[in-house]
Structure 1
């Protein structure tokens, strides 16, 4: 099987061994015309979109607490068509979340800005893996997490205490790889820092911070994959 991992359950992950294949993704080759046509519709609806480079999986498996897989660099326009179809495409999406844990054990997430594809959605600051996130052909998950948090919130998590291991949750919409990052400041202070950064940006990617204080504190616009992550954190697991 191209994709062989349990779905809808949180998995312990001691290593992520996802390799970047230099060849094109079969989905991109087989759907070139449809990708171009769909992209014209997408940018007509949202001119702020940028056709950058992300990666899309062609294989992923969970073996002995390791995630092992293969991915390919694709244009964002390819990703936009794929996300409309998903099933039976021979492709899946994986992304990473730095689960930001404040000194008072609250979680600090973000709400995406109105000009983005995920406008109004709440999740931990994150972005798709890009070729810059790979070292010697293998994905560097923590580099991606730290880079995305810095770009979206202005926070530098490079010196933050990290959870012992990663965890992963795979659903029909994709696989999120996450890890706790502990910051000593209380949630309100972290939120103030993020808000100040957003106010200083000419074109911020996020609307602002969202504090989550317990498992029942589920904000409007919460992405579906976030609920089990929040419950997992406040249960004290991991």
Structure 2
């Protein structure tokens, strides 16, 4: 895969889990363990659970098909920190593009206790076992709303989720996004989220940031796929 950014409007997303033994992880356990221990020194609250990585994706305007496999979180972090040495794998996650009624977007600032401390992006998380269904499908729509609630306190009654998906591919990051719109301004939404963060015992976010236009894009803290999404989104207006 290349570093080219591809953004596609998609009517439907279908994701499935298929068991697979990841050769790269099997062959690099020493490096993965050393990296994990190094990470724990800085962020001791990290937990080595099981997550789903993307192995294959097919995208058309009608349908996006994803194939996931399961790995240790430490495997994924090692792969990321070592520069994504297996180019056939990606982190494919559902993400709600949260915005106010005024059209301004609201991003979260990740807490220093998380693996991505200080990074700025919409609430999201790598799919995990909670998203796996008995029929083998992976429920990305529920993953999206769950992450929104966990990080911001916003429930499905608080916003409108568009049916359409926006698939942003900048391998090895694949964001499967939906527009999520609050009935209040971005300022009001940010105020509410900040109150939620202040009341949480162990918040994933340290703050929020409002993005009204391209001038608010921060290359130092925002991942490249999100910078591309913002430029694309503002160009649509």
TM-score, normalised with respect to structure 1: 0.88
* Structure 2 alignment gaps of length 5 or more: none
- The aligned counterpart of 2:98 is 100
Provide the C-alpha distance between the structure 1 equivalents of 2:24 and 2:11, rounded to a whole number of angstroms: 30
**Alignment correspondent of 1:13:** 10
Q: Which moved more, 1:154-163 or 1:79-88?
A: 154-163
Q: Between Structure 1 and Structure 2, how many residues are aligned?
A: 234
CA-based RMSD:
2.2
Give unmatched runs, 5+ long, in structure 1: none
Q: CA deviation at 1:159?
A: 6.0
The equivalent residue for 2:227 is: 227
Give the whole-Å Cα distance in 1 for the aligned partners of 2:56 and 2:85.
14
Note the alpha carbon deviations across 1:11-31, whole angstroms, 9 max, x for none.
Answer: 122222221123443333333
CA distance in 2, matches of 1:97, 1:8: 17
Aligned to 1:71: 68
Q: Say if 1:81 and 1:183 are closer, same or farther in 2 by CA, change over 3 A.
A: same
CA contact (8 A) 1:102 1:185 kept: yes
1:81 aligns to what? Answer: 78
How far residue 140 of structure 1 moved from its aligned partner, in angstroms, is 1.6
The 5-angstrom pairing of residues 27-66 of structure 1 reads 27-63=24-60, 65-66=62-63
2: CA distance between counterparts of 1:89 and 1:105? 36
CA deviation after TM superposition for structure 1 residue 88, in Å = 3.5
Aligned 1:169-208 pairs, distance under 5 A: 169-208=168-207
